[in-house]
């Protein structure tokens, strides 16, 4: 009984420290005490974020071998490489919470953890690469910039680095679309068609409406999240409208108009049935994306085993050499 009470008191003290730190906008670090739910909620969010970087390589890598100029090909390769790097940062950040990359990848491969639903849409033309840069990366940045102030230190620091690179990708995507929009009529049509297909899925990236968002309230109280889904979605729409105009492209929403009273753009209803369907696994590319990821992992197993076996051998060789050296010295 005494032990339980002591533990209870210690937890209460810890909780009070934690709450005070969060309230004071201080960063929570890996060795600090944190509530179990805070830890598991962060693991879930950071893993999903890391998985999205890794799965997100696929729709763009789909166009590397067909990029229409060497300059564009170099830009696209660099971007896909950056995404792998972002995945690595985020897995490392998640590991500070006591999980491992292997465990997280296993959960991705077995469908127990998710990735962003946007990557379940196909890249059908070259212009999709630009639309992903402008809209998908744009939405990601809108979501992620506030995460640079997230209460968990390792996540916040990873986001600072990631956001810098993402902003660069976003400008490149915009510039790609601009070149198409101002190009031949066929190129302009290709750009418009891509924007038509990516606009609504991009708005869905902010997650369900506030009243249906399961984790929002708690994440905001913990200062993992700083703004609600709908707030960020509105901010994104307001940013995109003038950009679309500058591009000479239209956004596929007849209800989109400036609302003087609100000081924001009103926009049409999102097809939430489609959102939930894609999230459940029934989107256009869910099966394909996860199958490719699993296959890369399974077909690479012998390579990882070889690296591990070699590392073990060279480590034991080194140990033997050291031992021999110690004996010789003695």
Q: How far is the CB of 126 from another protein (least distance, A)?
A: 6
Backbone phi and psi for residue 67, each to the nearest 5 degrees, phi listed first: -50, 135
Please say whether the beta carbons of 53 and 87 come within 8 A.
yes
**DSSP H helices in 125-255:** 127-131, 137-144, 153-181, 185-204, 216-221, 229-247
Residue-level length of the chain: 330
Residue with the two structure tokens 């890598």: 61
Q: Write each residue from 67 to 106 as x if it is in contact with another protein (CB under 8 A), else as -, in one continuous string.
A: xxxxxxxx--xx-xx--xx-xx--x---------------
Segment contacting another protein (CB under 8 A): 16-24, 41-49, 208-216, 301-309? Answer: 301-309
Minimum gap (Å) between residue 43 Cβ and another protein:
18
Distances in whole angstroms, Cα of residue 151 to Cα of each of 28, 92, 218: 6, 17, 13
DSSP 3-state helix, strand, coil percentages of the chain (rounded to 5)?
75, 0, 25
3-state secondary structure (DSSP) of residue 34: coil
Residue 313 interacts with another protein (CB under 8 A): yes or no: yes
One residue of 10, 16, 217, 296 binding another protein per CB under 8 A: 296
Task: CB nearer to another protein: give 51 or 225.
Answer: 51
188 binds another protein (CB under 8 A): no
Site for another protein (CB under 8 A): how many residues? 50
Q: Which of 152, 49, 45, 151 minimizes the C-alpha distance to 96?
A: 152
184 is a contact residue toward another protein (CB under 8 A): yes
Candidate list 304, 316, 320, 325; residue touching another protein; CB under 8 A: 304
Helix, coil or strand: residue 62 = coil
Helix 70-95 to helix 101-109 angle (10° resolution) is 110
- Residue from 124, 148, 163, 179 touching another protein (CB under 8 A): that is 179
Give the x/- contact pattern for another protein in 14-53, rule: CB under 8 A.
Answer: ----------------------------------------
86 versus 197: smaller Cβ distance to another protein: 86
Per DSSP, the three-state class of 96 is: coil
Q: Which is nearer to another protein, 180 or 232 (CB)?
A: 180
As a whole number of Å, the CA-based R_g of the chain is 23
Residue ranges in contact with another protein by CB under 8 A:
54, 57-58, 61, 64-74, 77-78, 80-81, 84-85, 87-88, 91, 126, 176, 179-180, 183-184, 186-187, 292, 295-297, 299-311, 313
């Amino acid at each position: 009984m005494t032990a339980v009470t002591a533990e209870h008191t210690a937890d209460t003290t810890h909780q009070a420290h934690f709450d005070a730190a969060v309230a004071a906008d201080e960063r929570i670090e890996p060795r600090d005490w944190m509530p179990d739910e805070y830890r598991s909620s962060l693991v879930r969010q950071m893993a999903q974020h890391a998985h999205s970087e890794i799965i997100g390589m696929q729709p763009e890598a789909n166009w590397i071998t067909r990029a229409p100029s060497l300059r564009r090909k170099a830009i696209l390769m660099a971007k896909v490489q950056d995404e792998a790097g972002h995945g690595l940062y985020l897995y490392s950040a998640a590991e500070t919470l006591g999980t491992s990359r292997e465990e997280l990848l296993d959960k991705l491969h077995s469908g127990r953890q998710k990735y962003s639903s946007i990557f379940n849409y196909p890249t059908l033309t070259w212009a999709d690469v630009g639309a992903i840069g402008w809209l998908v990366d744009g939405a990601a940045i809108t979501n992620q910039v506030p995460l640079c102030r997230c209460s968990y230190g390792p996540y916040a620091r990873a986001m600072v680095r990631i956001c810098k690179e993402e902003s660069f990708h976003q400008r490149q995507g915009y510039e790609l679309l601009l070149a198409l929009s101002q190009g031949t009529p066929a190129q302009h049509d290709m750009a418009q068609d891509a924007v038509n297909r990516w606009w609504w899925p991009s708005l869905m990236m902010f997650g369900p409406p506030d009243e249906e968002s399961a984790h929002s309230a708690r994440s905001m109280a913990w200062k993992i999240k700083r703004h609600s889904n709908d707030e960020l979605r509105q901010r994104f729409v307001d940013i995109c409208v003038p950009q679309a105009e500058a591009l000479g492209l239209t956004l596929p929403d007849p209800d989109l108009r400036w609302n003087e009273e609100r000081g924001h753009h009103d926009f049409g209803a999102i097809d939430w049935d489609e959102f939930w369907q894609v999230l459940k696994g029934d989107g256009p590319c869910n099966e394909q994306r996860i199958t490719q990821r699993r296959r890369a992992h399974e077909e690479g197993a012998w390579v990882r085993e070889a690296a591990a076996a070699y590392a073990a051998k060279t480590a034991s060789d080194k140990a033997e050499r050291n031992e021999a050296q110690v004996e010789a010295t003695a």
